[in-house]
Amino acid sequence: MDGSAQARQDGWVRPAEADLPQLDSTAWVRRGVVQPDGSIVLPPEFAPALGLKPGDEIILAMLENGTVRPQTPAQAVRQIQDYSTARVPPGTSMVDELLAERRLEAEREDKWGM
């Protein structure tokens, strides 16, 4: 780091903007450890902050820039829901759309004997 990073006595570091520009000003960074078997040990403060208990599953997303982002399964589902919702015009029911497509498909099968 370039010396302008802030450090706390408990080992947490707030990186300087020049060091990690992709992080916002509220980010705090702490080191984890990669074990010989490839598993990653998170700092103990991370689990309760994420609502995780020992044995809980997390999803790790590798972003294009090489950043690894951990998420709980619930967070990943919510992200997919938000992504999908943003692409559906207001007032459109995806269930109704799916049912209409299935009805057309069934009619074609009945008509052509498939």
> pTM for the whole thing?
0.51
Taking CA 17 as the corner, what is the angle to CA 19 and CA 72, rounded to the nearest 5 degrees? 85
Task: Name every residue whose Cβ is closer than 8 Å to that of residue 93 and which is 6 or more positions away in sequence.
Answer: none
**Residue 32 and residue 55: Cα distance in Å, rounded?**
17
Rg (CA), the chain: 23
The residue-averaged pLDDT of 32-54 equals 85
What is the pairing mode between strands 59-62 and 68-71?
antiparallel
Residue scoring higher pLDDT (88 or 10): 88
Q: Is the pLDDT of residue 2 over 50?
A: no
